[in-house]
Structure 1
């Protein structure tokens, strides 16, 4: 995307859609390099990082740690408050909305090419999940 387009103005669910893909790819790379296991085991491991419940818990933890900038908190808030027409699978609406907020900020950082901040966030997400294990 060129700089004439304001990424912040994108629909927060579009940001979350992008963020979901970015997080999924990062987690897959992380577990493949860490586990060097067969695909079924990799899939089972990946679910610990990318479920709505895990993402909501990670968002709560990072918010408690004051990890996000004000700008990022605004993106998270917009992602949480966005009206989704899809039903949350295996979770309640509040958990699903928190996970959408986390995915939205990931998508935002990715589309803004804020690579260092994105990398730091992805590493913090993985560390938070592994700390809970």
Structure 2
């Protein structure tokens, strides 16, 4: 990636990073589910929600923080996404949960745009493992 292109993604709004990250994370989850043998679209969509919902992503952020899983730079991009002004609103979740999930997606957007494919795959795999191990906090 050229230095100019690298500087450009560093200037992007956290919501734009989240837009990219949402798509990147979703691809990892969809591939994982298909590799697990799920093929019915309704079943795929239902199962994907366990990984990609705002509540799941907020829970994953809490685990990343508790486990010390992320780097300082990733935490910086999380905060950029979480604190960015968004003109959409939360659906079926609190505003804070929605903002935290936006931060989660911003980290994936940053990793995607900075072409850190190995770290992106490592983080996605870690998230999948946490969900499947039942480590997400119970939702009330």
State the alpha-carbon separation in 1 of the partners of residues 16 and 2 from structure 2: 17
Question: What is the TM-score when the length of structure 1 is the normalising length?
Answer: 0.95
**Candidates 23, 37, 40, aligned match of 1:38:** 40
Consecutive unaligned residues in structure 1, runs of 5 or more: none
Q: Tell me how far 1:37 sits from its aligned partner.
A: 3.1
1:1-133 pair list within 5 angstroms:
2-5=2-5, 6=7, 7-132=9-134
Indicate the RMSD between aligned Cα atoms, in angstroms. 1.3
User: Which runs of 4 or more aligned residues in structure 1 lie more than 4 Å from their structure 2 counterparts after TM superposition?
Assistant: none
Tell me if the contact between 1:8 and 1:75 (Cα under 8 Å) persists in the aligned partners: no
Q: Tell me how far 1:69 sits from its aligned partner.
A: 0.9
State the alpha-carbon separation in 1 of the partners of residues 91 and 37 from structure 2: 27
State the alpha-carbon separation in 2 of the partners of residues 131 and 3 from structure 1: 40
Question: What is the TM-score when the length of structure 2 is the normalising length?
Answer: 0.90
Consecutive unaligned residues in structure 2, runs of 5 or more: 136-140
